[in-house]
């Protein structure tokens, strides 16, 4: 559909008459919007091999000079330690009336190449437009978003696939919106102040036809009731599956199965989290354990041929519960799973927990590698081993004066590296209760050096933290590494606080996010400092 636009530029009159003097602008969005994505103005069919592209318009009512995207070729968890992905910041271009994008910022990005399908998340600041959506590298899709009104509309040859994923997200959000919120607490101490107690009382008296009200889960029995209520509705009856049914025949079977895998994963993950809270009761009651197993079996995991991050995480948590209940090594539980699910669960297990495994890591990797087939997982696991065995190099570490840290300052010393960020309450507590005292203990020790690494996005924020004295001490060698670079990238540092111990030989002896008190860290530092390299394995604290 076209409309006439009277065009007045610098000429003293508006040109109107024959079509040669008319600006013809397509309606956007309008009836011919999908057609314009595959044909030019004269109706000539465009080539089939156009590169994959994501085109997005964002209403100018919200200031936006860039858009945040993150792409993954493989995704088994949304945790940065497991799958950091590839972040892309896309600059904004002001739209124009000739392309129907006036009053919108325009963002365009080519879709990265992947073997089959990938994942991406898209947002602006705290506003998420799509999280962990599937994509194919040849897809061409157009989105228009208005963050104030909450609208998101689609166009382009592959619009249905992305509209489906958006509608599935909405189905989950609507279910959550209409479900009573739950508070898991072993006591009602949160009701001690009068205002909170009054609001709680008020919420319990509202009519249930319109209002939701919080339920307090304060025991394993109550948690089990919560799980039973959740599993009453089979996953096939979830509103998201009703959305999926509407797209049968509109998109390919492969794309439908991908989205279905995501729905199964999200629901399994939600249910397993509820079952975990009732675990003290479940593990001592065979009938309850059997009911959970029957519910999990209803997801037909052996038939799943695709992946989704919450699916891998949910199956891992269930495998852990099965390992405890059956008193079997978790590797034996993994072995019973089909691939690709099995290897993705293994990837999540090791990549999410490697900085807790300490000297057990090489054995754990050796036990699980025979169960893995995908090259990318094999590469990641081998990289973990190699990183721990290589000599530590202080890459990208900047001192307070802005100069790069000289490696000679740390050569031959035992290092305790403490990673932190501003605003992290655990980092704050760790400094006040552990690091401050430990730094004083080793202040005059020529063989042991306490070194801190800040991972804030900019140096100014780091220096503000230093000046506060809340996170570091003057006795420590304080450095900054830009977020996601240098040793942060090399050693997969995404969680804070975190610690590493480096031996005098430059080998990593410990990398952990587990909290240790002053005495424990002191003991480990003294052991490493006094032991010869030949008596300690590369990852043995």
pLDDT value of residue 500 = 92
φ, ψ of residue 85 to 5 degrees: the values are 70, -175
pLDDT value of residue 154 = 97
What span, in angstroms and rounded, lies between the C-alpha atoms of 168 and 177?
Answer: 14
CATH code of 407-535, in short, is 3.40.30.10
Q: What's the pLDDT tens digit per position in 199-251? A: 888 988 999 899 999 988 889 999 999 999 999 999 999 999 999 999 999 99
- Report, in this order, helix, strand and coil percent for the chain, each rounded to 5: 45, 20, 35
φ, ψ of residue 400 to 5 degrees: the values are -65, -30
DSSP at 158:
T
Contacts of 134 (CB under 8 A, 6+ apart): 117, 118, 119, 161, 165, 255, 258, 259, 262
Contacts of 158 (CB under 8 A, 6+ apart): 136, 139, 140, 141
Residue ranges of the chain that CATH labels 3.40.30.10 = 407-535
33 confidence band (pLDDT: 50, 70, 90): very low
Q: What is the mean pLDDT of the chain?
A: 85
282 confidence band (pLDDT: 50, 70, 90): very high
pLDDT value of residue 44 = 53
pLDDT at residue 96 tops 70: yes
pLDDT at residue 112 tops 70: yes
46 confidence band (pLDDT: 50, 70, 90): low
pLDDT value of residue 45 = 59
pLDDT value of residue 47 = 62
Contacts of 506 (CB under 8 A, 6+ apart): 391, 392, 411
Q: Which two tokens stand for residue 384?
A: 């973990």
Q: Which two tokens stand for residue 479?
A: 């450095």
pLDDT top residue among 72 and 189: 72
**DSSP result, 347-415:** HHHHHHHHHHHGGGHHHHHHHHGGG---HHHHHHHHHHHHHHHSBP--TT-B-TTSPBPPGGGTTTSEE
Q: What's the pLDDT tens digit per position in 403-424? A: 999 999 999 999 999 999 999 9
Average pLDDT value for residue range 82-98: 89
pLDDT at residue 540 tops 70: no
What span, in angstroms and rounded, lies between the C-alpha atoms of 497 and 253?
Answer: 45
């Amino acid at each position: 559909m076209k409309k006439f636009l009277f065009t007045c530029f610098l000429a003293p009159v508006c040109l109107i008459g024959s079509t040669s003097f008319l600006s013809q602008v397509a309606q956007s969005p309008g009836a011919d919007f999908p057609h314009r994505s595959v044909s030019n103005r004269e109706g000539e069919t465009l080539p089939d091999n156009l590169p994959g592209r994501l085109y997005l318009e964002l209403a100018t009512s919200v200031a936006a000079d860039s858009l945040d995207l993150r792409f993954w070729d493989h995704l088994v968890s949304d945790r940065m330690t497991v799958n950091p992905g590839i972040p892309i910041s896309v600059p904004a271009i002001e739209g124009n009336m000739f392309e129907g994008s006036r009053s919108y910022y325009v963002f365009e990005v080519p879709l990265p190449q992947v073997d089959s399908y990938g994942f991406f998340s898209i947002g602006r600041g705290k506003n998420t437009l799509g999280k962990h959506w599937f994509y194919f590298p040849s897809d061409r899709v157009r989105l228009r978003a208005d963050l104030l009104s909450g609208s998101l509309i689609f166009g382009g040859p592959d619009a249905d696939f992305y509209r489906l994923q958006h509608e599935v997200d909405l189905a989950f959000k609507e279910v959550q919106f209409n479900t009573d919120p739950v508070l898991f607490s072993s006591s009602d101490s949160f009701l001690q102040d009068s205002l909170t107690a009054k609001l709680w009382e008020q919420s319990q008296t509202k009519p249930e036809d319109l209002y939701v009200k919080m339920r307090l889960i304060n025991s394993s029995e109550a948690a089990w009731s919560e799980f039973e209520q959740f599993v009453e509705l089979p996953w096939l009856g979830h509103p998201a599956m009703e959305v999926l049914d509407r797209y049968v025949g509109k998109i390919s079977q492969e794309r439908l199965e991908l989205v279905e895998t995501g729905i199964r994963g999200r629901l399994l993950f939600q249910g397993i989290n509820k079952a975990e809270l009732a675990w003290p009761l479940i593990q001592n009651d065979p009938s309850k354990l059997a009911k959970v197993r029957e519910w999990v079996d209803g997801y037909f995991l052996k038939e799943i041929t695709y992946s989704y991050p919450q699916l891998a995480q949910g199956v891992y948590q269930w495998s852990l519960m099965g390992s405890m209940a059956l008193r079997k090594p978790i590797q034996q539980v993994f072995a019973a799973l089909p691939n690709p699910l099995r290897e993705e669960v293994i990837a999540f297990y090791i990549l999410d927990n490697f900085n807790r495994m300490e000297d057990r890591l090489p054995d754990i990797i050796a036990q699980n590698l025979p169960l893995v087939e995908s090259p990318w997982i094999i590469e990641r696991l081998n990289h973990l081993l190699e990183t721990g065995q290589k000599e530590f190099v202080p890459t990208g570490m900047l001192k307070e004066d802005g100069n790069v840290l000289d490696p000679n300052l740390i050569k031959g010393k035992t290092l305790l590296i403490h990673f932190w960020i501003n605003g992290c309450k655990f980092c704050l507590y760790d400094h006040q209760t552990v690091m401050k005292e430990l730094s004083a203990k080793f202040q005059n020790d020529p063989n042991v050096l306490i070194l801190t690494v800040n991972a804030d996005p900019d140096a100014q924020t780091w220096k503000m933290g230093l000046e506060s004295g809340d996170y570091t001490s003057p006795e420590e060698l304080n450095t900054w590494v830009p977020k996601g670079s240098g040793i942060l990238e090399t050693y997969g540092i995404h969680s804070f606080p975190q610690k590493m111990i480096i031996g005098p030989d430059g080998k990593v002896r410990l990398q952990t996010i587990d909290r240790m008190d002053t005495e424990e860290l002191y003991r480990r530092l003294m052991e490493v400092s006094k032991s010869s390299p030949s008596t300690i394995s590369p990852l043995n604290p």
